[in-house]
């Protein structure tokens, strides 16, 4: 786990009169300047530890990290899992003066109806990108990563993320998520094990870097990471495959037993200011769940092909939350794939 020490933010606030805030966050997902701004405005010293998958975050919290962090930034399905497991605290909309800035379509969400424990952070999609210098053929199918052409075999990075890999694999085979049919699940497992023979690596936090460096010629990737790889000079194209792709929303959640609950709410309220939400979008290249960000967005973000799918693109799917017996079957598939 990487630890980011925000020295500039800490030094800006002698004596730390207004306390601290401890955040559990994804890698490279918030600009340093925005953290510094929060500290300058509130006097709150910020510490951030990072993780590289929803599952890693959950496992870490359950292994003893609860009570050490104030907020975390899980994906949609993980918010629901954490809520079901009693890991989240709740708040009232009136606790956040900027609650009304949330885009209405992201308020009554199935994973946190009415937003009682979370606020939207960023949303986007997960599919794959291909280096067009290496492969010039059609990329409108998930076969590119699960049954790749010869040009890409052995040059593919898979995300180290159970939810997304298994969801994309299910889409490729045309089967529903949270499927308990043992025959179909065996077919999914067999397909993934065969696909793995064509993969060079598993990596989520490195998904952008391996495309930029050329260590991978294709890879599962978050759409914002693909946009950033392109901005850094990689000749990559992001795909919206015909079988489907994952749509996700990351959310800032208030953790149960947060040691600095009031400061956590101040931070959540800060992120609901349009200019601040836009700063995250300009850094991460995804899409905000806050209204009024448009005047603050960079043109490159507004016009990004990764954020503007073609009219022919299919609808994306959120990762489903399975019942416990079914989830154990998927856990077994993932464990076997990672051996």
Helix (H) / strand (E) element for 287: namely strand 287-288
What confidence score (pLDDT) does residue 102 get?
A: 98
The model carries a pTM of 0.90
The Cα–Cα gap between 194 and 181 comes to: 20
Long-range contacts of 182-187 (CB under 8 A, 24+ apart): 182/329, 185/329, 185/330, 185/333
Give tens-digit pLDDT for 34-48.
Answer: 999 999 999 999 999
**SS3 for 212?**
helix
Which residues have C-beta within 8 Å of that of residue 144, sequence separation ≥ 6? 128, 130, 152, 218, 239, 241
Give tens-digit pLDDT for 160-183.
Answer: 999 999 999 999 999 999 999 999
Closest of 219, 178, 126, 194 to residue 336, by C-alpha: 194
Q: DSSP string spanning 161-203?
A: -HHHHHHHHHHHHT--SS---HHHHHHHHHHHHHHHTTEEEE-
124-247+310-337 folds as D-Maltodextrin-Binding Protein; domain 2 (3.40.190)
What confidence score (pLDDT) does residue 2 get?
A: 34
> The tokens of 301 are what?
């973000």
3-123+248-302 folds as D-Maltodextrin-Binding Protein; domain 2 (3.40.190)
The Cα–Cα gap between 129 and 304 comes to: 14
Q: Using 50 as the pLDDT threshold, list the residues of the chain that sit under it.
A: 1-17
**SS3 for 118?**
strand
**Burial of 71: CB neighbours in 10 Å, binned 0-12, 13-18, 19+:** buried
What confidence score (pLDDT) does residue 92 get?
A: 98
* Start-end of CATH 3.40.190.10 domains in the chain: 3-123+248-302, 124-247+310-337
What confidence score (pLDDT) does residue 78 get?
A: 97
What confidence score (pLDDT) does residue 8 get?
A: 36
């Amino acid at each position: 786990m990487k630890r980011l020490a925000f020295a500039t933010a800490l030094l800006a606030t002698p004596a730390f009169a207004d306390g601290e805030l401890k955040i559990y966050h994804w890698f490279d997902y918030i600009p340093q300047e925005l953290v510094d701004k929060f500290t300058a405005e509130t006097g709150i010293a910020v510490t951030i530890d990072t993780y590289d998958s929803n599952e890693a975050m959950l496992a870490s919290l359950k292994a003893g990290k609860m009570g050490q962090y104030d907020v975390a930034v899980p994906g949609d399905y993980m918010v629901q899992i954490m809520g079901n497991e009693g890991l989240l605290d709740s708040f009232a909309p009136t606790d956040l003066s900027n609650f009304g800035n949330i885009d209405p379509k992201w308020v009554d969400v199935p994973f946190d109806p009415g937003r009682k424990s979370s606020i939207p952070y960023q949303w986007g999609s997960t599919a794959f990108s291909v280096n067009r210098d290496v492969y010039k053929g059609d990329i409108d199918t998930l076969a590119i990563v699960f049954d790749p052409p010869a040009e890409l075999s052995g040059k593919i990075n898979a995300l180290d993320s159970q939810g997304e890999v298994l969801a994309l694999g299910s889409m490729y085979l045309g089967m529903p998520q949270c499927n308990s049919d043992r025959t179909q699940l065996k077919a999914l497992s067999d397909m993934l094990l065969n696909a793995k023979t064509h993969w060079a690596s598993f990596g989520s936090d490195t998904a952008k870097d391996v495309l930029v460096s050329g260590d991978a010629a294709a890879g599962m990737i978050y759409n914002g990471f693909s946009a950033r790889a392109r901005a850094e000079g990689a000749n990559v194209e992001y795909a919206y495959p015909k079988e489907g792709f994952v749509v996700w929303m990351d959310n800032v959640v208030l953790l149960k037993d947060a040691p600095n609950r009031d400061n956590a709410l101040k931070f959540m309220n800060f992120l609901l200011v349009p200019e601040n939400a836009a700063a995250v979008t300009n850094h991460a290249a995804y899409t905000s769940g806050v209204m009024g960000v448009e005047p603050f967005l960079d043109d490159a973000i507004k016009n990004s092909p990764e954020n503007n799918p073609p009219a022919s693109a299919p609808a994306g799917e959120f990762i489903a939350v399975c019942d416990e017996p079914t989830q154990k079957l998927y856990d077994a598939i993932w464990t076997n794939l990672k051996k």
